[in-house]
Amino acid sequence: MWRAGVLGATGYTGAVLLSVLCGHPDINIALITSNTHRGKKISEVFPQFRGRLETPLQATDDDHRGTCDVYFLCLPHGVSATQAKALFDGQALIIDLAADLRFEDVALYERAYMAHPAKELLPHAVYGLPELYREKLKGARLVGNPGCYPTSAILALFPLLKHGLAERNVFVDSKSGVSGAGRDAKVGNLFCEVAEGFRPYSIGVHRHEPEIQKELAKVADVKVTFVPHLLPMNRGILTTAYGSLTQYVPTAELLHLYREAYRDAPFVRILDEGAYPDTRFVRYSNYCDIGLKTFEDGRFILVCAIDNLVKGASGQAVQNMNIALGLEETRGLMLLPQYP
């Protein structure tokens, strides 16, 4: 059994991560922390754990070195890197669910976020998108878990760009449930602010745009225009990416290319021609559903659906853990989507 710790466990990603780890046959949850709720049992904060997980919450700011084999950092940007620096010894696996280990280029991170408090860690970190970096993740000890929007956008676009089939300008239109904004009390996330409405936000300044851009630029000369939207639902992301093809490829042919690209990716499901993803059919799961269509005039449309809290965050973190520790990639993650 591997000892796992979840630091900052009382946000949405922490709660989902604990739920997944509770069902993982190779994991013992040895540490759960929260500065806000320290001293309480996790089941007092999240009643769904009653009778299953009654662990008291320790203070996140305490010294937890040597306590665990795997640390999951569900902490704010900046705070996460500081904790990673304190815990990093080359032995324990550290998976950061914030943005602090996602960028190889510290200047790019600092333009999007803040001054980096532990930039010396970046050369040791692997970007944790398993479908692209599975080999690099094997044996890794520092992993930057991708953002939720980037996960959906990169997985949707990567095969097309890798084969040189897209013109330079690519447009990414994403919609997310409210849980993507976190659990902190914010006026914009109140029920009356969200219900019965649908709006874009952070146009041109969203922090996930440079993350999407820098990953896709590794395989193609591409300029990404990213527009996120807030949907009045709890969870899920639907991303539509579109642009122009460099040459016409029939839909059936492109679907075959995508199936080949993801044939070893257990959580990516390529839909049949004429079928398109729906967030209802990936909820509570680590699956990523992709559908697509091309047009004879050279346009393409790609559609991707994920659960932002599972494949977009906590499930992907466990997937990264499995690969880094040499476990079966799907271990503890074969969660069927829940419908209705």
Number of residues assigned to the chain: 340
Report d(CA 55, CA 48) in Å as an integer. Answer: 13
- Is 148 one of the catalytic residues? yes
Q: Which of 74, 148, 288, 304 is catalytic?
A: 148
Chain position carrying tokens 């998108």: 129
End-to-end CA distance of the chain: 35
Amino acid identity of residue 56, one-letter, is: P
- Find out whether 161 and 213 touch, Cβ atoms under 8 Å: no
Which residue, among 156, 153, 104, 102, has the nearest Cα to 320 in the 3D structure? 102
- Find out whether 65 and 87 touch, Cβ atoms under 8 Å: yes
* Signed CA dihedral, 51, 54, 46, 13: sign only: negative
Residues 6+ apart with CB under 8 A from 255: 270, 272, 273, 292
Report d(CA 267, CA 130) in Å as an integer. Answer: 10
Q: Which residues are marked as active site? A: 148
